[in-house]
Structure 1
Amino acid sequence: MLSPKSKRNISRIIPFGVIWLGLGWFILFVEGAATQHQNLNPSSAITLTTEVFIFASIAVTVVGLIVGAVEVLWMGHLFSKKSFTQKLLYKVGFYTFFLLLVILITYPLAAGVELDVSPFDTQVREKFSNFLMSIEFVSTSVSISLSLFLSLFYSEISDNVGHGVLMNFFTGKYHKPTEEKRIFLFSDMKSSTTIAEQLGHIKYFELLREYYSDFSDPIIRHAGEVYQYVGDEIVISWKYEDGIKANNCIECFFAMKADLQKRGDWYSAIFGVVPTFKAGLHVGKVTTGEIGALKKEIIFTGDVLNTTARIQGLCNKYNVDILVSEDLITALQLGNELQIESLGTTALKGKEGRMELLTIQKRVSVLGKG
């Protein structure tokens, strides 16, 4: 079974291969239409046979997947704090060298397929030499550069709006409102007003950026989706099945807390404070759909969001870091490593009736082993 993080990485890498393959086919179609499917310069250009077409399709897809893997697993993190334009420029420089290497490898292989000889054959070397001095080399470089630009542009858009949201827009999943069951976690930084006054606006913003960055890996590992950043508050959502599986929604909270604590000394040295947070969790049905005229968004509406916010707001009253509704607790299969304590029933502002709230802690023995 693949982990949520592996599934997410694979789902982000695959579109790169699709982009390269689709654009490669489009360029071949345009060139074929322009030349009436004739090789006008056989001394340097490769004739498009069935075997060459199959090889080219496989090659561009593999190259696209390699670019995607490099982008998702390494390059994206390396330049994560650069501006959009800076990232594009740095990446284009790196990939230009990489793709020249690709041409040096794939052209002799394709020529070998066309001529039915070894890629190291004299005929291939001669044809490759002619290719490097021909207009076909320029055309190929432009085509590859276009594929590179579009895939990097997709990557940046995906990072900015969220891969899941982008895919939902493409597929039109929420073009019509849909009712679904979801779990929500509302997290709020403790003493944020005091910290902001202490640090000033710019320094506080830098702290928030690091604070949210530290949450990213736990959220990914536990199949969560960031719904909103609102000031110092983050709203995380799960499809019901994903949140219940392996207690992802609860384990995500403890993983976020643990990752933040690991960097406690760093926060103290850089900002003079170590941020902490409190969270409320609840489950219920929401209506999900696209909304907006000037700016499209996929939003959730439903009582569960207001209720979760109210639950999170009671953490200070009960002096706990996490509050969970009875509805969610009963849906989970919590093991002995978690200690559950009921805090009784309470009336939530704006709601009729009372709701039982519970808090959860990792048992001391388990924390000691970790």
Structure 2
Amino acid sequence: MKISPLVKRNALRILPFGCIWLLFACIFLWIEYAAIGDITNTPASAIKITPKILAFALTGITLIGLLVGSIEILFLNKLFEKKSFLTKIVSKFLIYLFIFFLIIFINYPIAVSLELNISVFHPTVWSKYVDFLFSITHLSTVIQLGVSLLFSLLYAEISENLGQNVLLNFFTGKYHKPVSETRIFMFVDMKSSTAIAEKLGHIKYFDFLKDYYFNLSNAIIKNQGEVYQYIGDEIVISWNFKAGIKQNNCINCFFDMKLDLEKKKDVYLKTYNIFPEFKAAIHYGQVTTGEIGALKKEIFFTGDVLNTTARIQGLCNIYNAELIISQNLLEHLNLTKDFTIRKLKEETLRGKKESVDLFEVEKIGEQQLL
């Protein structure tokens, strides 16, 4: 069974939550063990740690982390995406408070039944549960869950702002030293953005851009692209070379973005009385990739391919073309079946001595599909 890029991406985003919760569970168990010292000093409301209980506890806490990650990534992020930071925090706190109550209600009696080797429905189990609710052990458990939650939510926010791949690369140190890579770049520029900004005003135009970027995101994920930069109304999308040419991902991304926007046309017209359109250029080449910045670190690409792609994109208006790609990239793609290709005039781009062969790409039957 083939896993879609969206499912794979979400799974990779959720997995760190389980790891964070497991790590903090180990830390707190070690602290608790060190503080108690002798197992006979365990409070009556606490469960004595045995290998069986330890395995259950660590498995349970990891599953809780994965549950929190799933709720955060699949539901709460979307639910509170346009809410203020304070609204997010308070709302999520209340939601997780309820979830934690259910988790403790389910897991504590099971752990007691394992400890005492009796049925989970035995009166002794529930008597100990009531004692636990009003004990220091319960408070300690809530604090442990709270700390784990805090760090996992911080991870979620940082990952959301930096991008999952960027955060992972920082942690692994992949680009701590500059490396040479072959990458594909697509420069996507909104048409008539200046006129739109003047018509909407700064605040409403900002909301317009937020909706525009959000509606393009699924197509980027679906085609394994990575957002390198948002520059005003322009998006720079990048692919590892193999991922970009696989099944024409870099080309399909453009037309999937168009299709996703078209589905929201009525919403844009109702909300802003404007529908955004865009043009793009795609090219590939060697770049040097590494961490850069003194006051703010980021993963940075340098290379002629970025300047070349930007200049190719600038020709879209001249040729009245929505998508232009270089011949160098075209040679690595298989566009004979679903696309029409029209060769443009050979161009000598500004700052380059050698001319570049360019092609306009259109999808067959696109208008009918839309």
TM bracket (short chain): over 0.9
Name the % identity.
51
Residues 238 and 39 (structure 1), Cα distance of their counterparts in 2 relative to 1, 3 Å cut? farther
- Residue by residue, what CA displacement relative to the aligned partner does 1:83-105 show, whole Å, maximum 9, x if unpaired? 33331221111001101110001
Within the alignment, does 1:340 sit opposite 2:341 as a pair? yes
Give the Cα separation in 2 of the matches to 1:241 and 1:39.
60
Give the Cα separation in 1 of the matches to 2:40 and 2:13.
37
How far has the Cα of 1:132 moved from its partner?
1.1
Aligned residues of 1:184 and 1:237 also touching (Cα < 8 A):
yes
How far has the Cα of 1:218 moved from its partner?
0.6
- Residue by residue, what CA displacement relative to the aligned partner does 1:333-367 show, whole Å, maximum 9, x if unpaired? 22411111111311111011111101111112x65
- Residue by residue, what CA displacement relative to the aligned partner does 1:232-262 show, whole Å, maximum 9, x if unpaired? 1000001111111111110000011111111
Q: Give the equivalent residue in structure 2 for 1:76.
A: 77
Give the Cα separation in 2 of the matches to 1:87 and 1:350.
48
Q: Give the equivalent residue in structure 2 for 1:368.
A: 368
Give the Cα separation in 2 of the matches to 1:155 and 1:56.
24
RMSD: 1.3
Q: Give the equivalent residue in structure 1 for 2:295.
A: 294
Aligned residues of 2:21 and 2:62 also touching (Cα < 8 A):
yes
Residues 369 and 258 (structure 1), Cα distance of their counterparts in 2 relative to 1, 3 Å cut? closer
Q: Within 5 Å, give how 1:304-319 maps onto structure 2.
A: 304-319=305-320
TM-score of the aligned structures, taking structure 2 as reference length: 0.97
How far has the Cα of 1:117 moved from its partner?
2.0
Aligned residues of 1:174 and 1:290 also touching (Cα < 8 A):
yes
Q: Give the equivalent residue in structure 2 for 1:285.
A: 286
Give the Cα separation in 2 of the matches to 1:42 and 1:359.
74
Q: Give the equivalent residue in structure 1 for 2:260.
A: 259
Within the alignment, does 1:115 sit opposite 2:104 as a pair? no
Where does structure 1 differ by over 4 angstroms across 4 or more consecutive aligned residues?
none
Q: Which amino acid aligns with 1:71?
A: E
- Residue by residue, what CA displacement relative to the aligned partner does 1:168-212 show, whole Å, maximum 9, x if unpaired? 111111111111111000000101111111111111111111111
Give the Cα separation in 1 of the matches to 2:84 and 2:316.
37
Aligned residues of 2:36 and 2:42 also touching (Cα < 8 A):
no
Aligned residues of 2:178 and 2:291 also touching (Cα < 8 A):
yes
Q: Within 5 Å, give how 1:149-228 maps onto structure 2.
A: 149-228=150-229
- Residue by residue, what CA displacement relative to the aligned partner does 1:254-311 show, whole Å, maximum 9, x if unpaired? 0111111111122112112111000000011111100111111111000110010011
Give the Cα separation in 2 of the matches to 1:221 and 1:361.
20
Give the count of matched residue pairs.
Answer: 369
Q: Give the equivalent residue in structure 1 for 2:59.
A: 58
Q: Give the equivalent residue in structure 1 for 2:87.
A: 86
Aligned residues of 2:187 and 2:309 also touching (Cα < 8 A):
yes
Within the alignment, does 1:98 sit opposite 2:107 as a pair? no
Within the alignment, does 1:230 sit opposite 2:231 as a pair? yes
Q: Which amino acid aligns with 2:64?
A: V
How far has the Cα of 1:118 moved from its partner?
2.1
Q: What secondary structure, in the 3-state scheme, does the structure 1 residue paired with 2:344 have?
A: strand
Give the Cα separation in 1 of the matches to 2:367 and 2:209.
27
TM-score of the aligned structures, taking structure 1 as reference length: 0.97
Aligned residues of 1:84 and 1:156 also touching (Cα < 8 A):
no
Give the Cα separation in 2 of the matches to 1:144 and 1:67.
11
**Is there any run of 5+ residues in structure 2 with no aligned partner, and where?**
none
Q: Give the equivalent residue in structure 1 for 2:22.
A: 21
Aligned residues of 1:39 and 1:46 also touching (Cα < 8 A):
no
Q: Give the equivalent residue in structure 2 for 1:245.
A: 246
Give the Cα separation in 2 of the matches to 1:296 and 1:217.
26
